Amino acid sequence: MKTIKSAEKKTYKRDRELTESVMNIIDNVRENGDSALIEYARKFDNVDVDSIRVSEEEVRSAYDKVDSETLEAIRFAESQIRFFAEKQRECLKDLTVQSKVPGLELGHRMIPIERVGCYVPAGRHPLPSSALMGIVTAKVAGVKEVIACSPAFSGFGTIHPAVLVAMDIAGADEIYCTGGAQAVAAMAYGTESIKKVHLIAGPGNKFVTEAKRQVLGDVGIDSLAGPSEVLVLADKTANPTFVAIDLLAQAEHDPNAKPMLVCTDRETIDKSLAELERLLPTLETKDVAGKSWQDNGQVYLADDMDEAIAITNELAPEHLEVQADSEREIAARLHNYGSLFVGHYAPVAFGDFVSGTNHTLPTMETAKYSNGVWVGTFIKTGFHQFVSEEGCINLSKHCMRFAEVEGLYGHRDSVRLRVEK
């Protein structure tokens, strides 16, 4: 392997200042509730609101502010996400089975979490796709109450209309105009307006991520996400223009985004980098994309495809594209990624918006042991056993021995007294 370009800085840094800042926000929300959220809306979002709850009338009026083409795109994406989520849900089944021990029946149930909070970030542009990814998936899972939180968008005094429409189409039961660490605190602990949720899902900036870290345990979370990532795995058959634009497409997310290329052919690398330099000035997002590529871009020349696959599995990217010959065979050997895009015509953009797979995915190599948001994120599996008198007798000998070895004599006697009876 030869490193052609390495990252110049670490893309995610958690420091004492961030930790303490978020801790203070959480404490303020826990103590002062809605008034703290209104205060932070004024401080961080430059809006004055009397209530953080978005009314049905505000949601209805948002439809008039969204053009028909955007509305059509939102409805299309919602149907795609719902279709795939429903197919995932079909895979999750209750189980009841007769044990090999007579008189013992074992099983589990798929139980939807009762109340979930979906966070929808707002940066330089509105993110209706993030609203769909969280809310639709939770509703398909069977969650009874899904609330959505998002900060006010500049120029509107409330959540961006496209995001509000997406939240409504997705099926949000309650919508609140609040964002950042304060929104996470509100969902985790409740305020006068917001009833505490059981799990918080959705991406966000470093303040949101740190807040999710701090409330974990008092409430469940989907994951702790870092800056977005893409890795393009390529060989000599890859189109350099496709490689270049896909790296830039990821780079434009954020100055801390991480675009990576692993390729077995030096000529393809050189042509792709030349294309990247040609295409970068044409992007409206060139300042962000250029900064991300300069600081965080990585390029590796692998000796062969076996080494390229090994490098890729070690880097465990959030998004993984395969632009190579025999792409399906290669894909079968990849196992550390958040979402896989196979083929020369499969850019990450499809997964971000309309293919139907979720775009809230593991980053920072956590794909080695975790997955992105899916229907199962919002479902817990409860185990059960039905034990008859016969089953009690058949299990008793070995159970009582374990209890004695571990010094749990009440456990032993809870069985003994039943058997002696």
| Under 8 Å between Cβ of 136 and 118 | no
Task: List active site positions.
Answer: 318-319
End-to-end CA gap in the chain: 71
C-alpha span between 99 and 395 (Å, rounded): 11
Q: Which two tokens stand for residue 111?
A: 């139980």
Sign of CA dihedral 166, 169, 171, 172: positive
DSSP three-state, residue 391: helix
Distance from chain centroid for Cα 262: 25
Annotated binding residue 119: yes
Annotated binding residue 8: no
Annotated binding residue 160: no
What burial class does residue 262 get, using C-beta atoms within 10 Å of its C-beta: 0-12 exposed, 13-18 middle, 19+ buried? buried
Annotated binding residue 189: no
C-alpha span between 129 and 166 (Å, rounded): 8
Annotated binding residue 406: yes
Q: What are the two backbone dihedrals, phi and then psi, of residue 348, each rounded to the nearest 5 degrees?
A: -60, -30
C-alpha span between 268 and 252 (Å, rounded): 22
Annotated binding residue 411: yes
Annotated binding residue 253: yes
Annotated binding residue 94: no
| Under 8 Å between Cβ of 189 and 213 | no
82 Cβ partners below 8 Å, 6+ apart? 136, 140
338 Cβ partners below 8 Å, 6+ apart? 317, 318, 319, 320, 361, 362, 363, 367, 371, 372
Supply angle C-alpha 364, 315, 278, rounded to 5: 95
Annotated binding residue 352: yes
Annotated binding site: 119, 182, 205, 228, 250, 253, 319, 352, 406, 411
Annotated binding site for NAD(+): 119, 182, 205
Annotated binding site for substrate: 228, 250, 253, 319, 352, 406, 411
Annotated binding site for Zn(2+): 250, 253, 352, 411
